[in-house]
Chains A and B, each alone.
Chain A
Amino acid sequence: MNKKINKAWLVAIGLVAAIIVTLLLNLNLGVVRIAPVDVFKTLTGSGNEQNSMILFHFRLPRMVIALLIGAAMAVSGAILQSVTHNDLADPGILGINSGAGFAVVLYIFYFQGNVPDIGALSVFLLPLASLVGSTIAAILIYTISWKNGVSPIRLILVGIGINSAFAALIIIFQLKMDPNDFMRATVWLSGNISGTDWTYVLAILPWMFILIPFAMYKASALNTLNLGDDIAKGLGTHVERERRILLFIAVALAGASVSVGGGIAFLGLVIPHLARKIVGVRHESFLPITALMGAFLLLAADTIGRNILSPSEIPVGLVVSVIGGSYFIYLLSKT
């Protein structure tokens, strides 16, 4: 056990180092290259105006968002997998993301145009709308797949179905928008964080800072739930109550991420798998590692998306789908 914990610390340190390196790399890469020396100068406050504009207004908020969303999606997937005893659970595959996406599209369609005065406030209401959508989707999926309990396979199949239904609804409403909003919604839906500024960071920061630590606080409950319902009951856990609380955390994390980052699938599926392989199933070390890995992967994916086909940007969701989809296929062929 001790060895595992030591290993977890090592992995955590390695990941933090990797994140810092990617961050620095990210600061100097891009359409406008900024030399490392200038990056350093700008960060310490002695750079020129253009550089500090690019760094502080465009690159930095985007990277912070990538880190936050990556961590949130990964933790959300990890909780879903542990709570449903289902290795294939992921907010993207289950349709929770598209439920949130639909709510956001509805919100933009009905309110954005009508209430121009609130401006910045509307950005802060986005996560809320998204949360409502993701919760409704989750409740739908759970009730439809309920038949003397929820079998993992049924949950996934129902999720795939719900996903397509929301995707169709999204298209119908999207087409009612004017062309400008339409393009924006399309790019956003494929998982994109390029248009973010500090407002968005502020809008989701509170969610992340409450929900992720709360999830980690619940680590021991997750440990017992993961042993199976009977054992968990025997150990004195309120199984259903704990499960609902944890599911809600997972759904809320996914919803908040979608409101800013759009549909990013497979991240919540792949990261927990990798993390479990490295540090085992004790949630006290598993959850933090999952969060760090998720943050790192999304940041790396965004770096790739921004630079691989420069000057055109590939939405980060697509990059994650390619990486995550390949890993998922590998997993399928192994089992």
Chain B
Amino acid sequence: MPSNTSTDTTNPEQPSIVSRPIVATIILFGGLAILVLSIGLSIMYGASDIDFITIWQSLTQFDPSSTSHQIIRGLRIPRALAAALIGASLAMSGAIMQGMTRNPLASPSIMGVTAGATFMIAISYAVMPGSSNFTIMLWAFSGAALGTSIVFGIGSLSKSGLTPVKLALAGTAVTALLSSISSGIAIHFNVAKDISFWYAGGVSSIQWMHVQLLAPVAIIGLTIALLLANSITVLNLGDDVAKGLGQQTIITKLTGTLVVLLLTGAAVSVSGTIGFIGLVIPHITRFLVGVNYRWIIPCSAILGGLLLVIADTVSRMVNPPFETPVGTITALVGVPFFLYLARREGSGIR
């Protein structure tokens, strides 16, 4: 592995920017290849297994009368693509959040972003049932913004400032508060079934129009994030350093937050709450490629997409023919990692 040959590897005390472009390139291209492969597997396995030749045929010579072809084109392909896009979006927003706040625990599900989006979607189900997907997505954006601003608002109100643990706790409290109100709304307006189906976090009901909504958002998010990447790398050294180097930290933070809201809002509006991807993937990526965000952001996107596609495939195999919400699979993968972080970081931060 080329990573072992580099001399400046992990010394946590040193604030120098460790970057491993070779590893990153390998991840980008190798990861992309594996991602395509796993999307293929995800298309093959399901309630009925479909062999590779049929999949190929459905792409090259589509036969509308064949059920398998219908399943592949109408259900499986959009589902796999959406899973990849959602995973990528969540992982990117996690990476941006962690980079900007220098907070190892920052991630959309922990910081109240997802809970906020859920809350607004519950309201939209209650007051305007039968909204279009696009409208629901707008509600989700506003909710994501709401959740984030509450959490950060509490953090900045506090006298001892915005510590990592405080953000995590505020996120937990806001999540509990908002999801309780959402459940209350759901019960009262009798939309509990619609919402809990959506809330459990699933990509099972995805159609092409969801992909059409997700893809542009993910591409726009990725582009802006890449443009911001250098600023985030500098910001990750600390606000003072960034200011000293002449950076407009406020502008970076504002743009970064907007990208996070865009990516998370879109992902949540389609798939409900899928936790821990935004937390775990950026850490793994940073461990692999170093702390240059120009590499971290695209690599996180690839690895996040990969994880969610695999998790989605697994979720169909746990209890066939029923589907297990993919959020539970990512939680079971993510929790051990979270515990590891809590053990490692918990002693240093307060």
Contact = CB atoms under 8 A, between A and B. Distances in A.
Contact of B342 (A157, A165, A169): A157
A317 B183 CA distance: 11
A335 B159 contact: yes
Contact of B328 (A157, A171, A190, A312): A171
Interface in B154-209: 154, 157-160, 165-166, 168-170, 172-174, 176-177, 179-181, 183-184, 187-188, 190, 196, 200
Interface stretch (B21-29, B262-270, B317-325): B317-325
A210 B181 CA distance: 36
Contact of A333 (B157, B184, B196, B346): B157
A151 interface: yes
A329 B324 contact: no
B128 interface: no
B187 A329 contact: no
A55 B176 CA distance: 33
B346 A334 contact: no
A232 interface: no
Interface string B311-350: 0000000110010110111011011001101110111011
A318 B180 contact: yes
Contacts of B272: none
Nearest to A313: B187
A156 B168 CA distance: 10
Interface residues of A, number: 45
Given A157-B165, A168-B327, A321-B180, A329 B332 contact: no
A105 to B, nearest CB: 13
A309 B184 contact: yes
Contacts of B256: none
B275 interface: yes
Interface in B230-281: 275-276
A328 B170 CA distance: 8
Interface string A182-218: 0000100010000000000000000000000000000
A333 to B, nearest CB: 4
B177 A154 contact: no
B168 A160 contact: yes
Given A145-B343, A321-B180, A334 B159 contact: yes
Contacts of B179: 321
What secondary structure prevails in chain B residues at the interface with A?
helix
A162 interface: yes
A265 interface: yes
Interface string A307-335: 00100111101110110011011001111
B328 A172 contact: yes
Contact of B180 (A161, A172, A325, A334): A325
A32 interface: no
A167 B338 CA distance: 15
B159 to A, nearest CB: 7
Nearest to B167: A332
Nearest to B187: A312
Contacts of A318: 180-181, 183-184
A37 interface: no
A318 B345 CA distance: 32
Given A156-B169, A333-B154, A334-B158, A151 B177 contact: no
Nearest to A325: B177
A181 B329 CA distance: 22
B346 A145 contact: yes
Given A157-B342, A167-B331, A314-B187, A335 B165 contact: no
B180 A162 contact: no
Interface in A132-155: 144-145, 147, 151, 153-154
Contacts of A335: 158-160
Contacts of B322: 175-176
Nearest to B177: A325
A332 B338 contact: no
A332 B342 contact: no
Contacts of B325: 171, 175
B188 A329 contact: no
B349 A158 contact: no
Given A168-B331, A172-B319, A175-B322, A144 B339 contact: yes
A88 interface: yes
12 contacts: A88-B169, A157-B341, A157-B346, A171-B328, A172-B328, A175-B319, A314-B184, A321-B177, A322-B184, A329-B173, A332-B158, A334-B159
Given A158-B342, A160-B342, A162-B335, 5 more contacts: A156-B165, A157-B342, A164-B331, A168-B327, A332-B173
